[in-house]
Amino acid sequence: MQGRAVSSEEGKDLPVANRTNQTKALPLRLLQLFVLFLLVCIAFSGISIYTVRRFGIQSMVTTARSSFQPCYEEANSLDRWIQPPSDLLHNMSDKELFWRATLVPKIKKYPFRRVPKIAFMFLTKGPLPLAPLWERFFKGHEGLYSIYIHSHPSFHAHFHPWSVFNRRQIPSQVSEWGRMSMCDAEKRLLANALLDISNERFILLSESCIPLNNFSLIYHYIMKSGYSFMGAFDDPGPYGRGRYNLNMAPEVNISQWRKGSQWFEINRKLAINIVEDATYHPKFETFCRPACYVDEHYFPTMLTIQAGHLLANRSITWVDWSRGGAHPATFGRSDITEEFLRRISKNHRCTYNKRNSSTCFLFARKFAPSALHPLLELAPKVLGY
Ligand SMILES: *[C@@H]1O[C@H](CO)[C@@H](O)[C@H](O)[C@H]1NC(C)=O
Ligand SMILES: *[C@@H]1O[C@H](CO)[C@@H](O)[C@H](O)[C@H]1NC(C)=O
Ligand SMILES: *[C@@H]1O[C@H](CO)[C@@H](O)[C@H](O)[C@H]1NC(C)=O
Ligand SMILES: *[C@@H]1O[C@H](CO)[C@@H](O)[C@H](O)[C@H]1NC(C)=O
Ligand SMILES: *[C@@H]1O[C@H](CO)[C@@H](O)[C@H](O)[C@H]1NC(C)=O
């Protein structure tokens, strides 16, 4: 517009130039045009610099985009890579998902403020009867956790729209609730949680688990731990080394064979180790069949071989095997007393970052749905939430 105004102003001068001298007029007029053009350029860059200084480059870019590219849809910015997926439902196959989940940046320093989160991964058959207790536990700590649920594919969950569990189901593809498919489901949970670059620690829980402390204590306990809480011990008896199969050599030899609880807590590095594993998976799938239980040996053995120095070799999920038998005790309404909760949450002995500690368990199982009401009643007083 400015350019057009200039040329029409010039047009007025033309007759004057014509009258004086036609041969001299042409270069003079060119010179005048050039000077005017220069002035316009200087004025325009002056205005641009002022606008950029005043309003920042972004507003300039966005106004330019909105005026010149009305069809523009998604910002091709860093956000695309660091924002967690808005919808957990995707149609990636396991193969595609595992590939995507194991992409790791080479530069270790994040170019943005990364608040590390804990991924709470629930491996369940059906509903989450203790959800109201967990809701209370999570309340007020948004941004420090994320939730993932892998339930049996035939189960369709219904949570209130305002529940922290709403729309946190990941696509489950288990065909049978077998032992190896249990490990595959855990792998799938880890892979989905890895898609959020802010998830730093990963906890596997079941529908019968409860937290034993308030969120802040659990968050700091886990984040400040130099070790991952994977139960892994060398049991020389028939239920430990007795389950080892010589066909697993040379990948796994008997001195590396470990046993541990399925309910682990691991960091991002170890989560990637598990998701990318193609070395130990076939060995365990073929040679660890009942009476060898793959969910008790696969991850503890594999991680001991690959990163034993990063393991605390103990679980942070308390469970009661004292009643004997093949299954741990389940606690119902009548078991839940103040004394009982104090006993399981405090005064244990363990090492935490190479020091003696009495806080050893952050979660406990197994609790029946009937335990919910007494737990809700006692939690503020005894468990701190
Ligand atoms: C996933 O969906 C996209 C389109 O929405 C389709 O092109 C792709 O083939 C699908 N992938 C699978 C594995 O179903
Ligand atoms: C969490 O529990 C710890 C120990 O029981 C306590 O010191 C701390 O104040 C509690 N934090 C909150 C936010 O309630
Ligand atoms: C098992 O592997 C470890 C580490 O590679 C090695 O030190 C040990 O000698 C091996 N044991 C046997 C019985 O092969
Ligand atoms: C756990 O066990 C591994 C060997 O299996 C060992 O290297 C590691 O130091 C142990 N972790 C702790 C915290 O003692
Ligand atoms: C830790 O506890 C053990 C006994 O369980 C004891 O022998 C050791 O001296 C304690 N260490 C410290 C630093 O208190």
DSSP letters, 106-169, are S--S-SS----EEEEEEE-SS--TTHHHHHHHHTT-TTSEEEEEE--TT------TTSTTTT-B
C-alpha torsion 178→181→186→188, nearest 10: -150
Are 367 and 340 in contact by the 8 Å Cβ rule? The answer is: no
Cα 108 to averaged position of ligand 4 atoms, centre (Å): 26
Count how many residues are written for the chain. Answer: 385
Which atom of ligand 3 is nearest to 254's Cα?
A: 13
Which segments of the chain have a pLDDT < 50? 1-21, 23, 52, 56-73
277: three-class secondary structure by DSSP: coil
- Chain segment 105-124, per-residue pLDDT in tens: 999 999 999 999 999 999 99
pTM flag (> 0.75): yes
Cα 217 to averaged position of ligand 2 atoms, centre (Å): 6
Cα–Cα dist 265/215, whole Å: 15
Residue of minimum CA distance from atom 14 in ligand 1: 91
pLDDT at 8: 38
Which residues have CB under 6 Å of ligand 1? 91, 93
Backbone angles phi, psi at 325, to 5 degrees: 90, -175
The verdict on the CB of residue 384 being under 6 Å from ligand 2 is yes
Are 225 and 143 in contact by the 8 Å Cβ rule? The answer is: no
Domain spanning 93-315, CATH architecture: Alpha-Beta Complex (3.90)
pLDDT at 179: 73
pLDDT at 312: 98
The verdict on the CB of residue 76 being under 6 Å from ligand 3 is no
pLDDT at 76: 78
**CA atoms lying within 13 Å on the CB side of residue 269:** 11
Which atom of ligand 4 is nearest to 234's Cα?
A: 5
pLDDT at 82: 87
Q: Which two three-digit tokens encode residue 4?
A: 């057009």
- Chain segment 1-17, per-residue pLDDT in tens: 444 433 433 333 434 34
Cα–Cα dist 286/300, whole Å: 17
- Chain segment 214-224, per-residue pLDDT in tens: 999 999 999 99
pLDDT at 59: 42
Q: Which ligand is nearest the CA of 249, by number?
A: 3
Enclosing H/E stretch for 350: strand 350-352
CATH 3.90.550 residue spans of the chain: 93-315
- What's the DSSP call for residue 199? E
The verdict on the CB of residue 214 being under 6 Å from ligand 2 is yes
pLDDT at 152: 86
Cα 270 to averaged position of ligand 2 atoms, centre (Å): 29
